[in-house]
A and B are shown apart, each in its own frame.
Chain A
């Protein structure tokens, strides 16, 4: 997916960009409203992540201008404010969702998917590997002609693996991505989800290989 991140704090912007790129997304970064407007005019973004406090104005002004220009690219506001009234005014101004800093990237992605799902009609980016096609926004897996709706964690696990075929993922890494930090789960819980994915992928040319002591790897036959 292609993101536009509007954020004046470069450290944070770099961190967020790095994190999103790690998941295979394309990210443009603007540090002020003027630049953001220019990016929106020239590029075609799936999602805009918008900070509120910007050096050349309030993010709300951009939001208003953005909506007035009939641009329907979904916007998720990243705010440092936590007040309920602020959140409500964001939504009133046309934001699709909001997140309070600091935020969980898994939650960000979940919200992105939810926003994209609500904005149906928008071109949905999907991943094709062999005879398997994954639509991460709809959470649907297509093997040949058979379509399966994945559970959220199955989807996120498969998304990780399918974006980096042949790469070995340790159980710990996968657990960190799949479970929230306050969940007390053992790494073995991963095996449950690996098992489910294997069942979904059985008729396909893809298979998840277990490398004892190392982790898992998605192989393309």
Chain B
């Protein structure tokens, strides 16, 4: 009886996805942060060099005979050489008028005497970084402001940045891969207690409703505690209903027994035939209802147990002999002989309660249909398969119904007047099938029924 759960999503997948998603987010964030930091550092490097260039040019500016001379060193541009042969632009202004250099170079806003100012701009279609600074030159009778701006394209910087980006991307990818490994490890570690709990509950027997005692992680505490509570309630409810059924049976069967006893006694006292007939019917009705109730309960119990067979090793011969002892008093009442023909021992792995119930039903049936002073032979053999064969000298099965007789509540046509709910064969067949065997119905050539119960 395996009920599929209503499954929606996977805790493992959700956990793994969250961890991996987080790792991916972190990796991207790491990439962006490191890259932007690297860009900043690289930009600072370029700015320092541009600053040195500007400073060296500005330092060379002198006012001579009222004329500005800027005999700047070769190194002022030499230091701007890069692997990518970045282009260099510059402009020297005197009081806002271009002295030399590129007039199209964007002018940075300049405060006198301030430090070198760095801006980014565009020069002839290329992104450039511009450094500029000013200095006031004082001559004999004049003051003049000289402004120097040096710009450089950013191709080498871009190459450096790309290289750093690639390295950081590798690093981020490595971080991500490592995170995925850690995530899958963490996921399975986290899920494991859940799997252990599942296993321990799955392995339990059908009647094991004891609380889960093994230690579980804190987070599973409430679940296990609920589970334990639920099992405790279920256990209480089950034993309650068992008690209830027992009590109900007791309450019903005891008055029935009273009525039956009185009916029997009364039957010995009354003389009128119609009264006697009524009393007999009463007794028959009581027997019928009692037997039906018993078989229904038995059948329910068998249906339940068949899903969770409690197999044990048992001797089929001993089981049958015990059964014969129990049934001999009933057989004697009709002077029927119960004969067991068996191997010394037939061992099977089976549920003894189910087997007893099934075999008792078979022998009960045989007793019911056997004529007075006849014989019922019960054969127990281990070959070809362990089986019990019950043979009587009764009327046998109606040939046209022999295939359907084990169906629930069906009784043979010739069973009229015999008390029984018709569940006997059904019970026996269910038990045989639960054990991987079957129930075979035949009529004997010399007359009588032959039922073969194979385990």
| Chain A residues engaging chain B, CB cutoff 8 angstroms | 9, 11-12, 15-16, 18-19, 22, 53, 78, 80-85, 88, 97, 100-107, 110-111, 113-114, 151-153, 170, 172-173, 176-177, 180-184
Q: Is B268 an interface residue (CB 8 A)?
A: yes
Which of B23-31, B56-64, B220-228, B281-289 lies at the interface with chain A? Answer: B281-289
Let me know if B258 and A173 touch, CB within 8 A: no
- Within the assembled complex, what's the spacing in Å between the Cα atoms of A81 and B290? 11
Contacts A101-B253, A151-B335 given; does A176 touch B267 at CB 8 Å = yes
Q: Is B297 an interface residue (CB 8 A)?
A: yes
Q: Is B166 an interface residue (CB 8 A)?
A: no
Let me know if B259 and A102 touch, CB within 8 A: yes
Q: Chain B: which residue is nearest A21 at the CB level? A: B265
Nearest CB of chain A from residue B337's CB, rounded to whole Å: 11
Let me know if A15 and B265 touch, CB within 8 A: yes
Contacts A82-B297, A173-B268 given; does A114 touch B329 at CB 8 Å = yes
Q: Please tell me which one of the listed residues A11, A88, A113, A177 contacts residue B353 in the complex, with CB atoms under 8 A apart.
A: A88
Nearest CB of chain B from residue A22's CB, rounded to whole Å: 6
Q: Is B293 an interface residue (CB 8 A)?
A: yes
Ordered by A's residue number, 14 sampled pairs between the chains whose C-beta atoms are within 8 Å are A12-B255, A15-B258, A22-B265, A80-B252, A88-B356, A101-B254, A102-B261, A107-B329, A152-B334, A176-B268, A181-B280, A181-B284, A182-B284, A182-B417
Q: Chain A: which residue is nearest B283 at the CB level? A: A181
- Other A-B contacts than A80-B253, A170-B271, 4 sampled, CB-CB below 8 A, are A11-B258, A15-B262, A82-B298, A182-B419
Residues in chain B near residue A100, CB distance under 8 A = 253, 290, 294
Residues in chain B near residue A183, CB distance under 8 A = 417
Residues in chain B near residue A9, CB distance under 8 A = 254-255, 258
Let me know if B249 and A81 touch, CB within 8 A: yes
Residues in chain A near residue B332, CB distance under 8 A = 110, 114, 152
Let me know if B257 and A110 touch, CB within 8 A: no
Let me know if A19 and B333 touch, CB within 8 A: no
Let me know if A152 and B333 touch, CB within 8 A: yes
- Within the assembled complex, what's the spacing in Å between the Cα atoms of A86 and B55? 109
Nearest CB of chain A from residue B244's CB, rounded to whole Å: 12
Q: Pick the most buried of A16, A22, A102, A184: most chain B CB atoms within 10 A of its CB.
A: A102
Nearest CB of chain B from residue A112's CB, rounded to whole Å: 9
Q: Please tell me which one of the listed residues B247, B253, B255, B261 contacts residue A16 in the complex, with CB atoms under 8 A apart.
A: B261
Q: Pick the most buried of A83, A100, A111: most chain B CB atoms within 10 A of its CB.
A: A83
Nearest CB of chain A from residue B267's CB, rounded to whole Å: 5
Q: Is B232 an interface residue (CB 8 A)?
A: no
Q: Chain A: which residue is nearest B352 at the CB level? A: A88
Let me know if B329 and A110 touch, CB within 8 A: yes
Residues in chain B near residue A153, CB distance under 8 A = 333, 335, 372
Let me know if B265 and A18 touch, CB within 8 A: yes
Q: Pick the most buried of B251, B264, B373, B417: most chain A CB atoms within 10 A of its CB.
A: B264
Let me know if B261 and A83 touch, CB within 8 A: no
Residues in chain A near residue B271, CB distance under 8 A = 170
Let me know if A102 and B329 touch, CB within 8 A: no
Contacts A103-B257, A114-B332, A152-B333 given; does A82 touch B273 at CB 8 Å = no
Let me know if B284 and A12 touch, CB within 8 A: no
- Within the assembled complex, what's the spacing in Å between the Cα atoms of A183 and B335? 14
Residues in chain A near residue B284, CB distance under 8 A = 181-182
Dominant secondary structure at the B interface: helix
Nearest CB of chain A from residue B428's CB, rounded to whole Å: 13
Let me know if B276 and A12 touch, CB within 8 A: no
Q: Please tell me which one of the listed residues A18, A111, A172 contacts residue B261 in the complex, with CB atoms under 8 A apart.
A: A18
- Within the assembled complex, what's the spacing in Å between the Cα atoms of A152 and B337? 11
Q: Pick the most buried of B252, B254, B276, B353: most chain A CB atoms within 10 A of its CB.
A: B254
- Within the assembled complex, what's the spacing in Å between the Cα atoms of A183 and B333? 12
Near A by CB (< 8 A), chain B positions 283-318 give: 283-284, 286-287, 290, 293-294, 297-298, 301
- Within the assembled complex, what's the spacing in Å between the Cα atoms of A53 and B246? 10
Let me know if A83 and B333 touch, CB within 8 A: no
Nearest CB of chain A from residue B386's CB, rounded to whole Å: 20
Residues in chain B near residue A102, CB distance under 8 A = 253, 256-257, 259-261, 286-287, 290
Q: Chain B: which residue is nearest A78 at the CB level? A: B257
- Within the assembled complex, what's the spacing in Å between the Cα atoms of A101 and B253? 6
Residues in chain B near residue A11, CB distance under 8 A = 255, 258
Contacts A19-B264, A182-B419 given; does A12 touch B258 at CB 8 Å = yes
Nearest CB of chain A from residue B333's CB, rounded to whole Å: 5
Let me know if A85 and B353 touch, CB within 8 A: yes
Nearest CB of chain A from residue B301's CB, rounded to whole Å: 7
Let me know if B329 and A176 touch, CB within 8 A: no
- Within the assembled complex, what's the spacing in Å between the Cα atoms of A12 and B265? 12
Residues in chain A near residue B334, CB distance under 8 A = 152, 180
Q: Chain A: which residue is nearest B301 at the CB level? A: A83
Q: Please tell me which one of the listed residues A12, A80, A88, A184 contacts residue B249 in the complex, with CB atoms under 8 A apart.
A: A80
Let me know if A83 and B253 touch, CB within 8 A: no
- Within the assembled complex, what's the spacing in Å between the Cα atoms of A188 and B249? 39
10 tightest CB-CB pairs across the interface, nearest first?
A15-B261, A80-B250, A102-B257, A101-B257, A110-B329, A82-B294, A102-B260, A80-B253, A12-B258, A101-B253
- Within the assembled complex, what's the spacing in Å between the Cα atoms of A170 and B276? 12
Residues in chain B near residue A106, CB distance under 8 A = 333
Contacts A19-B265, A22-B265 given; does A84 touch B250 at CB 8 Å = no
- Within the assembled complex, what's the spacing in Å between the Cα atoms of A15 and B330? 22
Residues in chain B near residue A97, CB distance under 8 A = 326, 329
Q: Is B110 an interface residue (CB 8 A)?
A: no
Contacts A101-B256, A110-B333 given; does A172 touch B298 at CB 8 Å = no
- Within the assembled complex, what's the spacing in Å between the Cα atoms of A102 and B251? 11
Let me know if B353 and A84 touch, CB within 8 A: yes
- Within the assembled complex, what's the spacing in Å between the Cα atoms of A142 and B29? 111
- Within the assembled complex, what's the spacing in Å between the Cα atoms of A182 and B364? 14
Nearest CB of chain A from residue B361's CB, rounded to whole Å: 11
- Within the assembled complex, what's the spacing in Å between the Cα atoms of A88 and B322? 11
Q: Pick the most buried of B258, B290, B418: most chain A CB atoms within 10 A of its CB.
A: B258
Contact with A along B371-403 (1 / 0, CB 8 A): 011000000000000000000000000000000
Let me know if B335 and A103 touch, CB within 8 A: no
